[in-house]
Amino acid sequence: MDSPSHGVSLFFLFLTLFSLPPFSSAALRRNPLPKSPSSTSTAASSQINSNSILVALLDSHYTELAELVEKALLLQTLEDAVGKHNLTIFAPRNEALERELDPEFKRFLLEPRNLKSLQTLLMSHIVPERVGFNQERSSSLVRHRTLGDSHLNLKNSDSGKIIVDSAEIVRPDDVVRPDGVIHGIERLLIPRSVQEDFNRRRNLQSISAVLPEGAPEVDPRTHRLKKPAPPVPVGTSPVLPIYDALAPGPSIAPAPAPGPGGPHHHFDGERQVKDFIQTLLHYGGYNEMADILVNLTSLATEMGRLVSEGYVLTVLAPNDEAMAKLTTDQLSEPGAPEQIIYYHVIPEYQTEESMYNAVRRFGKVRYQTLRLPHAVMAQEADGSVKFGQGEGSAYLFDPDIYTDGRISVQGIDGVLFPLEEDKAPEKKSNSALKVATKPRRGKLMELTCTMLGAVGQDSHFSSCL
């Protein structure tokens, strides 16, 4: 909603194309056959003209709503609905969507993964019948089914105003067209399902880079997780036997807290891995990565086992465009897909914010990977985090695709490979040459032999021969 003119222009272009009269081969003939009345009415009903209620959404009061409709991919749906029904649109004005809407909720609606929520919200503002202001004035409470299969409640307040759910109709019958009517309302109507979805997303984003829950408390007397004790009536026998009420000894010590290698599996890792793979598929652009995890390897099962044992993981997920650049030679070796993915899994819980803060503070940060002993290097570049070095580097451009406190998925635009270790050049053996040559004498011995040779006494020393 930062650039309403662009979205509205696309919307207007779409409706303009559909407002053109359909051409047919019969129209080019000199003596066209007469059409039946039924076929004429059908053609007219499926055609969007300039006097349509959809074109009326381009009114200056409702451009923000028109842009939302275009972003929600609902143009074809509304076009079909106009051909079958009269529409009543309860439209919030631009001021309600620009200034009075929560910025976090606005950002939530415009994210691609929340397209279904945006469609549900917009369809709950549209009724597939004409609801006039004068028609509803005499009724105390009227329910209307919307295109989103929900209900809108219209009622008269004590002050004589008409209320639709929780919003007041401030401009009744603002725009009237042959195929529908627009009523201006004071605020956006938010269905309960959309509000709950937004709350769930907001709660997940607030989880910090630690386990969201502490180690479960174990009752040393019963060796079970602590639960609220049920009320005990006065005079009844104790809930626990006397032996269990004694102080615990070495044989009945409390169970250890869950962690790496723990046998209790307090976390359902397989379900969490399925959730993040489903999120990759719904997010779009990461089908190749999901295919390797599920179909080509058993990595999803291994990751689920790690999470069940208490480990946390950060997955650097290359998008489909990056995976398409892999050559056949890189994937044909046995175990190559597993080794590639292992290098993209960090045994830490990192978010986009935590990694960016780290590289800004320290310059370069090395993250260990599951492909031991290789690590991936991260550094700041162009306001983002860049992994790797040189031509094999990749940028973090889809942050926090999935974050649940144990698994974090960060989208990158390249496939990373560890740098090959430089091999030291082998020294050529030259033993034959060493045997053939004499051992080199020191400088002092050479000087002595020269002086003795001058006086003719060098023959007395074997080392001078």
Confidence of residue 218 (pLDDT cuts 50, 70, 90): low
Give me the pLDDT at residue 409, please: 95
| pLDDT given for residue 153 in this prediction | 87
DSSP letters for 293-325: IIII-SHHHHHHHHHHTT--EEEEEE-HHHHTT
In the predicted structure, residue 333 carries a pLDDT above the cut 80: yes
Three-class DSSP labels, 69-97: HHHCCCHHHHHHHHHHCCEEEEEECHHHH
Which has more pLDDT, 398 or 458? 398
Average the pLDDT over each of 175-179, 187-191, 239-243, 259-263 and give the range with the smallest value: 259-263
Q: What is the pLDDT of residues 144-199, one digit of tens each?
A: 889 888 888 888 877 778 888 888 888 888 888 888 899 999 888 988 889 888 88
Could you tell me which residue, 80 or 18, shows the higher pLDDT?
80
DSSP conformation class of 441: P
* Ordered strands of the 167-177 beta sheet: 126-127, 87-92, 180-185, 167-177, 162-164, 151-156, 141-145
- pLDDT confidence band for 294 (50 / 70 / 90): confident
**Which pLDDT does position 410 carry in this prediction?**
95
**Which value, in Å, is the radius of gyration of the alpha carbons in the chain?**
37
Over residues 286-299, mean pLDDT: 86
Q: Given a cut of 70, is residue 224 above it in pLDDT?
A: no
pLDDT score at 399: 92
Of the listed ranges 205-209, 331-335, 397-401, 407-411, the least confidently predicted one is 205-209
Task: Count, in order, helices (H) and strands (E) of the chain.
Answer: 20, 16
Average pLDDT score over the chain: 75
Quick check: 17 pLDDT over 60? no
Model confidence at 385, pLDDT cuts 50, 70, 90, reads very high
Judged by average pLDDT, the poorest of 307-311, 372-376, 394-398 is 307-311
Tell me which CATH homologous superfamily contains domain 4-20+43-202.
FAS1 domain (2.30.180.10)
Res 445: pLDDT? 60
**Residues 202, 408, 291: CA angle, nearest 5 degrees:** 115
The CATH fold of domain 269-412? FAS1 domain (2.30.180)
> Could you read off the pLDDT of 20-54 as tens digits, one per residue?
444 333 333 334 433 433 333 344 444 567 788 88
Helix (H, G, I), strand (E, B) or coil at 357: helix
What pLDDT does 108 receive?
A: 87
Percent of residues in the chain assigned helix, strand, coil, to nearest 5: 40, 20, 40
- Residues 424-448: tens digit of each pLDDT: 344 444 444 444 444 454 555 666 6
- What integer is the mean pLDDT of 256-285? 73
Question: φ and ψ at 409, to 5 degrees?
Answer: -120, 120
Answer whether residue 381 shows pLDDT above 70.
Answer: yes
Report pLDDT digits (tens) over 345-358. 999 999 999 999 99
Q: How confident is the model at residue 207 (pLDDT cuts 50, 70, 90)?
A: very low
Select the more confidently predicted residue: 230 or 279. Answer: 279
Q: Where in the chain is the domain with CATH 2.30.180.10?
A: 4-20+43-202, 269-412
Residue 252 predicted with pLDDT over 60? no
pLDDT for res 348: 92
Assign 463 a pLDDT band (cuts: 50, 70, 90): low
- CA distance linking residue 300 with residue 273, whole number of Å: 7
Contact status, residue 399 vs residue 413, Cβ threshold 8 Å: no
Could you tell me the CA-to-CA distances from 216 to 134, 269, 286 in Å, in that order? Answer: 62, 17, 35
448 burial level (CB within 10 Å; 0-12, 13-18, 19+): middle
Q: Would you place residue 18 in the very low, low, confident or very high pLDDT band (cuts 50, 70, 90)?
A: very low
Measure the CA–CA gap between 324 and 393, rounded to whole angstroms. Answer: 16
pLDDT at 281 over 90: no
For residue 335, pLDDT over 50 is answered with yes
Q: Which pTM was predicted?
A: 0.39
253 backbone dihedrals φ, ψ, rounded to 5°: -70, 155
Comparison of pLDDT for 40 and 59, the residue scoring more? 59
Task: Please report the pLDDT score of residue 174 as a whole number.
Answer: 87
| Percentage of residues in the chain having pLDDT higher than 90 | 19
